[in-house]
Amino acid sequence: MELIIKILQFFLCFTILVGIHELGHFIMARVFRIRVEKFYIFFDPWFSLFKFRRGNTEYGLGWLPLGGYVKIAGMIDESMDKEYQQREVQPWEFRAKPAWQRFLVMIAGVVMNVLLAITIYIGICYTWGETYFPNDEARWGYNFNEAGHRMGFRDGDRFVSIDGEKVDDISMLLNQLLITESDREVVVLRDGKQVTLHLTLDELIDMRREKGYENLFTLRMPFLIDSVAAPTAAALQRGDEIVAIDGVHDATYTEYRRYLQSKAGDTVSVTVLRGGERIAGLGIPISAEGTLGVFADPQPFELRTQHYTFWQAIPAGIHKTGKVIASYWEQLKLIVQPKTKMYEELGGFIAIGSIFPGSWDWQDFWLKTAFLSIILAVMNILPIPGLDGGHAIFTFWEMISGRKVSDRVLEAAQYVGLIIILFLLLYANGNDVYRFFIK
């Protein structure tokens, strides 16, 4: 059932993104009275799942879920249809329009994807607000996995800054740490003192390749007493923080629980912090089940939520979109730099589908849809022939030079672009197959 929900979310998201993107081209073409011959969600080689015609446009749903397209009259596109070149130029054709109009038609899909992301983020800010975990709530520090220990982190460290930038929102910490083409300087608070860790690019690359960033750090859970349940623990009070049991000190709740189980039926010496005062030597009998006779506070941390009115949500949504675009653009720049080896982390449809949860959560769905809409916009604006950015760059050249690029050059560029796109699709999806089924 979880797999079905993931698949449903993926296809709903993909349909929305492709539909909105192609709608942008469609609307702008119609604004300039350019005929749109086809409007398709997904591709339709050989046949389509269904189609109907209204006016001069055929609308349909293809069977190959790799995108979608609009076929604009008088333009070289993915269909490689060149029949129009044998005819007289018609006033309703793409090629008959001035360069600035053709340029706007080309970038309209990207603009629509950015506007979709803005709209979604505005809706999320207004409906749910922005909830995040602030770094200053991690008063007991973090535990680190093996990759973190190799880089010099110690359990109990608290983040202070990365390359001089203060750490606040923990959800953004990995981006601050990993999106880099150079070494990182991380300052942590350790035993009350600031310690600087110098992380080399090679270390960060190795961590990414080994997926050491997964669970790189987890919050240290303290043993805070929520209530006293047994008379034998009457010396303890609500709000006490257990900081030592016998010789075990500065441990996590799980570590203390493990030690208590080993002392079942015995008596231990407990040290607590109470109102800022350290109280030691509290002798507490341990039950036969290895329990202290208290209930621990299950949630000693507080998430922060920034709420917005409708009018406040508009600039907040625009700002959020800008931050995500800037972050993804930085990642994209790193992918094309061989020394970062981030190209090894490219993923295809399986990787995209795997980001959706196994249960339906509308807030999460819309967050991922907005993020993928930005990815689609950024990827399409790249100056690769065959993509919107490739078409736009030729039109922009015509606008500034006054010379139109010949159909023969456009046709050759389209073939080159299709080869590049096919290679990227095969490489990204090949990475998926290797990661999920072979490695």
The answer to whether 184 and 163 have CB atoms below 8 angstroms apart is yes
CA distance linking residue 78 with residue 33, whole number of Å? 21
Residue 287 has which token pair?
């039950």
Give me the DSSP letters along 129-153: -EEE-BGGG-TT-EEE-HHHHHTT-
In terms of Cβ atoms closer than 10 Å to its own Cβ (0-12, 13-18, 19+), residue 350 is middle
CA distance linking residue 414 with residue 256, whole number of Å? 65
Residues 6+ apart with CB under 8 A from 143: 155, 156, 217, 218, 219, 220, 252
CA distance linking residue 77 with residue 67, whole number of Å? 14
Residue 96 has which token pair?
């008959």
The answer to whether 373 and 116 have CB atoms below 8 angstroms apart is yes
pLDDT of residue 3: 78
The architecture of the domain spanning 223-296 is Roll (2.30)
183-189 contact pairs (CB < 8 A, 24+): 186/159, 186/161, 186/162, 187/159, 187/160, 187/161, 187/162, 188/153, 188/157, 188/158, 188/159, 188/160, 189/141, 189/157, 189/158, 189/159, 189/160
Q: Which of 7, 10, 36, 12 is nearest to 22 (CA)?
A: 36
The distance from CA 346 to its chain's CA centroid, rounded to whole angstroms, is 13
Phi and psi (nearest 5°) for 81?
A: -75, 120
CA distance linking residue 91 with residue 97, whole number of Å? 8
Start-to-end CA distance of the chain, whole Å, equals 25
pLDDT of residue 310: 93
Domain with CATH 2.30.42.10 in the chain: 133-221, 223-296
Integer CA distances (angstroms), 134 to 26, 124, 317, in order: 44, 19, 20
Give me the DSSP letters along 277-338: EEEEEEEEEPPTTS--SEEE-S-----EEE---HHHHHHHHHHHHHHHHHHHHHHHHHHT-G
In the numeric block, the tokens 């680190």 are attached to 144
- Give per-10-residue mean pLDDT for the chain (439 aa): 83 88 92 90 82 88 79 70 66 85 92 96 94 85 90 91 86 79 88 90 81 84 89 88 87 89 89 88 88 85 86 94 87 69 64 76 91 90 79 81 74 72 70 63
Strand 223-228 with 294-296, pairing: antiparallel
CA distance linking residue 119 with residue 136, whole number of Å? 31
pLDDT of residue 434: 63
pLDDT of residue 345: 65
Check whether domain 133-221 has CATH 3.40.228.10, yes or no: no
The answer to whether 256 and 223 have CB atoms below 8 angstroms apart is yes
The distance from CA 6 to its chain's CA centroid, rounded to whole angstroms, is 16
> Using CA atoms in the order 76, 79, 80, 83, what is the torsion angle rounded to 10 degrees?
-80
* SS3 at position 41: strand
Residues 6+ apart with CB under 8 A from 118: 317, 318, 321
Q: Which of 123, 174, 4 is nearest to 373 (CA)?
A: 123
Q: What is the pTM of this model?
A: 0.80
Phi and psi (nearest 5°) for 48?
A: -120, 160
Residue 153 has which token pair?
């982190």
